[in-house]
Structure 1
């Protein structure tokens, strides 16, 4: 066993320097990566059958190796550990998520130009119920719709993703945002005015509400949850952007993903599973998103393992872990932590009980320990304030998103130390009190 552990650690160190290509010091904690999964070639852990997994009542330690033999000590350990978390989530929760296909092509088509009136969110008083009746609250926004066509061939079958893509005027290079079910998700388009905006329609991959149904399942002939299929589709969009980079002058080092509600969950899975995404903004992701299954089990009428949508997740997750979340080898603070050391902003709505935002708060604070170990805790933020409509970000959340976008997409200097919630009395530390965390051995100031 000791020899196997030594081999694992040596491989982690050597492959870290090969993939990241940097010397570790205080100034270069990466903001993004050029590959989908920097841990893809690391040794896979031996994961137990669900009925043999040990009981862990509190939140599992994201720093602890899957085999229980110690915790990570250095930055170069993280890609290995992150890959272990990925494999746990696939095995126990969403199913297998294939890597980039060998046969994939992309094309850009050019179509219409049109102008529509959109809310000027930065100047709107949303406490006024009649704000939509005031024409001064709207501004004309020109859209230049092109289409990104990504074609994948696997097993003799073809899947084509068609996404509208809006390209700003100017020379670029332009950052980009992948909006799920909307060019900028449910966030104001004005926040991303200087970005290439890609409208990703996940129903082209898997049909919501229908398990194992859609083009992804036809392509691979496998069964799984839509969060494996849908996040896979988001990664294929990025593949397509790479293939047409010269045509649209995109800045591939500054890509964001955002969505709300079920698509807020998708934004989290997309950002967690693809390290080419520099900024993840998950809006009201609720249970199965930012909220930790264990914590949600204890707080009331919220989305839990026993009542979530099982077109999204493996049915075996309910069979194995409903009513016994302590047997789940991971939890969703680790899904969030997979994004580290890249940037993530979680937007909630504490008024809506179903979203389990107290659980989301505990989960986000627990995940933040990973960014703290990197010394870059200002790359994870949240705003869980309520009293607004579902998927309608209030002014404080628009401001938080604006700051994260300016810093992590546009490279501006803004303060992203944003931890806003009504949960000051929630003791998140009681959920992580058993963690073994080694002293930080690397600190970043990016």
Structure 2
């Protein structure tokens, strides 16, 4: 039997994303219990996605594309996620490894370095699997992973990602071997995607920015500080925006790879990576689809509902995720100039998929669903079907017909084969 004291329990919780989730119960124990009672959701009024800041209504798609969409995007940039810099002029790529007989000859595996600087000291590595049975370029699912490229599959030839976990002495250092090969394979059904004709690509988030509050010193942020600057300004990029920026840099590479159909790239993410995927899809319209799984506050869930994860809770537990300005709205969600249904609307007319889990109350499944519902008028402006209804659908009964897809899965906070199977069905509808 292993006995944990308060000190090493904290270290263990910091070590993995799953155990980090238990921090939420620690938060509750300190007297700031999350609300899980629907009757205690406060009355709220959402910003109209089709009403411009000057009070005029959006009349057509030109008004949306030229006027209203830029307004909403700017508000999210300055008040929620933070503005990211343009891609560096020295951005360049190199294929590090390539094996055309991976996964029992089913796929070609590539590892591609995306260099952010001319001296090649700063880069991220994209791991890519491409079906060998294909006619021309194939569509792609692409997203961040939590623990390193080598953890998404037990393929022994994937180069191990070096973690940036904060060590016990408080000094940052690289720690190989922290996460085991194939440890996250249940979340990445590589074989199933290949069999269905899709390529898969992933990047270890730590290649872009480590997921802890390091004062923005150990990721990509310092590459863009102006003289004398030591941290982002209050309206500049937090970690989620940096991750989305990295995903966008990867799109620059996909456009050069003749095996990948860069017009059919779906950006996908679970939990905090779901927040990131939605923001990446909003900022970079080259992503043809965005998929959010259990993304919660700052993702698909409506902030004004104050249900489960709230603005204060997310800013307290993870102060590095969002722009500094987002902290102004702790306990003041009603003052936000935007809400998350407008983030979903920024994907229009491109398809977007929202996935929830019935036991994941922290992520507010109803709030995630309602974001799709209240984004629907923007999709209807383009003559497309969105989501309708005020009540959640039945468990494990996905809604796949419109350009906004949704399902409420049985189970808890995770991304499972069932989720991916619905993503594939949805992508088949729009990509094939």
Scaled by the length of structure 1, the TM-score of the pair is 0.66
CA distance in 2, matches of 1:165, 1:159: 20
* Deviation at residue 58 of structure 1 after TM alignment: 0.9
* Deviation at residue 192 of structure 1 after TM alignment: 4.8
Q: 1:249 to 1:282 in 2, by over 3 A?
A: same
Q: 1:399 to 1:176 in 2, by over 3 A?
A: closer
Correspondent of 1:332 among 340, 353, 363? 340
Q: 1:148 to 1:398 in 2, by over 3 A?
A: closer
CA distance in 2, matches of 1:142, 1:249: 15
For residues 370-409 of structure 1, what are the structure 2 equivalents within 5 Å? Answer: 370-377=378-385, 378-388=402-412, 390-394=414-418, 397-409=419-431
1:231 and 2:255 matched: no
1:89 and 2:90 matched: no
1:217 and 2:221 matched: yes
In the alignment, what sits opposite 1:44? none
In the alignment, what sits opposite 2:189? 188
CA distance in 2, matches of 1:272, 1:59: 19
CA distance in 2, matches of 1:192, 1:73: 43
In the alignment, what sits opposite 2:207? 204
In the alignment, what sits opposite 1:418? none
In the alignment, what sits opposite 2:55? 69
In the alignment, what sits opposite 1:167? 130
* Deviation at residue 375 of structure 1 after TM alignment: 1.5
> Equivalent residue of 1:335, what SS?
helix
Unaligned runs of 5+ in 1: 1-55, 117-139, 412-446
> Equivalent residue of 1:307, what SS?
helix
CA distance in 1, matches of 2:410, 2:74: 34
In the alignment, what sits opposite 1:293? 303
CA distance in 1, matches of 2:210, 2:285: 25
CA distance in 1, matches of 2:194, 2:352: 16
> Equivalent residue of 2:117, what SS?
strand
> Equivalent residue of 2:116, what SS?
strand
Deviations 1:1-58 (A, max 9, x none): xxxxxxxxxxxxxxxxxxxxxxxxxxxxxxxxxxxxxxxxxxxxxxxxxxxxxxx951
For residues 16-35 of structure 1, what are the structure 2 equivalents within 5 Å? Answer: none
Unaligned runs of 5+ in 2: 1-42, 154-183, 226-230, 386-401
Check the 8 A contact 1:288/1:303 in 2, yes or no. no
In the alignment, what sits opposite 2:375? 367
Correspondent of 2:293 among 273, 278, 283? 283
> Equivalent residue of 1:255, what SS?
strand
Check the 8 A contact 1:191/1:405 in 2, yes or no. no
Check the 8 A contact 2:130/2:194 in 1, yes or no. no
> Equivalent residue of 1:215, what SS?
coil
Q: 1:213 to 1:408 in 2, by over 3 A?
A: farther
Check the 8 A contact 1:205/1:229 in 2, yes or no. yes
**Structure of higher RCO (CA pairs closer than 8 Å, 6+ residues apart):** 1
1:261 and 2:264 matched: no
What is the RMSD computed on CA atoms of the aligned residues? 2.5
* Deviation at residue 311 of structure 1 after TM alignment: 1.4
CA distance in 2, matches of 1:141, 1:265: 35
Deviations 1:276-317 (A, max 9, x none): 11121111111221001102x1x3xx1111110221112332
Check the 8 A contact 1:204/1:214 in 2, yes or no. no
Correspondent of 1:108 among 95, 99, 103? 95
Check the 8 A contact 1:292/1:359 in 2, yes or no. yes
In the alignment, what sits opposite 1:59? 46
* Deviation at residue 389 of structure 1 after TM alignment: 5.7
In the alignment, what sits opposite 1:346? 354
In the alignment, what sits opposite 2:365? 357
Check the 8 A contact 1:349/1:357 in 2, yes or no. yes
CA distance in 1, matches of 2:375, 2:301: 11
CA distance in 2, matches of 1:115, 1:252: 22
